[in-house]
Amino acid sequence: MMQSDVVICGGAVIGSAIAWNLGQIAPELTVTIIERDPSFQHSSTALSASGIRQQFSDPLNVAISRFGVDFIKKTPTRWGLDLNLHQQGYLYLSNTDSGAQILRENHAVQCGAGADVTLLSTDELKSRFSHLNTGDLTLASLGLSGEGWFDSVGLMQGYQAHSNATRLKDEVSGLKLQSGKVASVRLASGSEIACGAFINAAGPYAAEIAAMAGINLPIEPRKRTNFTFDCATPPQHGLPLMIDPSGVWVRPEGRHFLCGCIPENDPAVAHDDFEPRFQEFEEIIWPALAARSPAFEAIKMQAMWAGHYAYNVLDQNAVAGAHPEIENLYFANGFSGHGLQQAPAIGRGVAELVAQGSYKTLDLSPLGYDRILRNEPLLEKCVI
């Protein structure tokens, strides 16, 4: 039987971030990553919109993203790798009084956590982005720095290239529990690995892996379709990543644009369902964008693809940390679309917990599995 101090199920950005941080904190530990698809062509990392923002409603999520953007900024020095961070901000729009109040409440939380965010009246919004139709709006919130988008695959590959973890192309098929611990991990190939710690970083497969230990994890794959389009007359004053009150979002992508929306119906999907939902562009996105700006009246869709959120049904927040009873089983799951930007902080925190027994950099304990057992949501209001 093979042996490894730490076995990580899932080798995309979350699993790779944990492995790299374990190497930094405790290089003496042997780390093995089990990954079913080393091409990562269907990974949430590769298919994401690659955004990072500080505009959350929970102060811990703000702190996690601040850690992440600082990490990304330092990659040229750390790894000799430029992740092409575009700090053009996120722009949230509200068209109701209640929506404006939520933006104000979130703004207070964000500023209290050190985020560089400002509120804009409709006049101020029009002054900055003259192409926008603002007549129906009540308030806007704009990130001034530390928000935007970057090279998602570059971050994942950076972690992978600078980690000494052993990587196996295989699938976890079972967990052997003994004396309240994960004693070994069974693989689809027939191999078995004895482990000192097991980390579930399986993305949309997280619930299936947890079930192997008799654990209920309320995480399921939800499909999100991204579209790129060309614009006949692009906005003259640029654009951050804008989130319309309709739930439609759009941002520049080179000389084109990238966009998507929250589906009107959002069921769990099969793990192999990556069929894009073209109708979302025709029926939801284009009408909303055309109503928001004349610049988006004449656009042409160029490409589309679908990826999966590892969606936490309870509260759309990550589940991170140790299981309260299976002491060597750890979670890094359920990011609900935020995993890429949260990978640096989650990778650091989970590695600290495994190697040092407690969180040192950021206290991630509010994200623990205990709240799942108690059925007490840690609600995040800013979910796209």
d(CA 319, CA 366): 9
Across the chain, which has 384 residues, the per-10-residue mean pLDDT values are: 97 98 98 96 93 96 97 97 96 97 97 97 96 97 97 97 98 97 98 98 98 98 98 86 97 95 95 97 98 96 97 96 97 95 98 98 98 93 75
Assign a CATH topology to domain 2-48+153-218+314-374: FAD/NAD(P)-binding domain (3.50.50)
Q: What is the DSSP string of 292-319?
A: H-GGGSSEEEEEEEEEEEEEETTTS--E
What pLDDT shows up at residue 236? 75
Q: How long, in residues, is the chain?
A: 384
Pick the CATH number of 85-149+220-309 from 3.30.460.10, 2.40.37.10, 3.30.9.10, 3.40.50.10470: 3.30.9.10
What pLDDT shows up at residue 379? 83
What pLDDT shows up at residue 382? 73
- What are the sequence ranges of the domains in the chain? 2-48+153-218+314-374, 85-149+220-309
d(CA 333, CA 302): 32
CA distances in angstroms from 172 to 105, 197, 234, 266, listed in the order given: 43, 14, 48, 28
Half-sphere exposure of 246 (CA within 13 A, CB side): 20
What pLDDT shows up at residue 211? 98
What pLDDT shows up at residue 381? 76
pTM score: 0.97
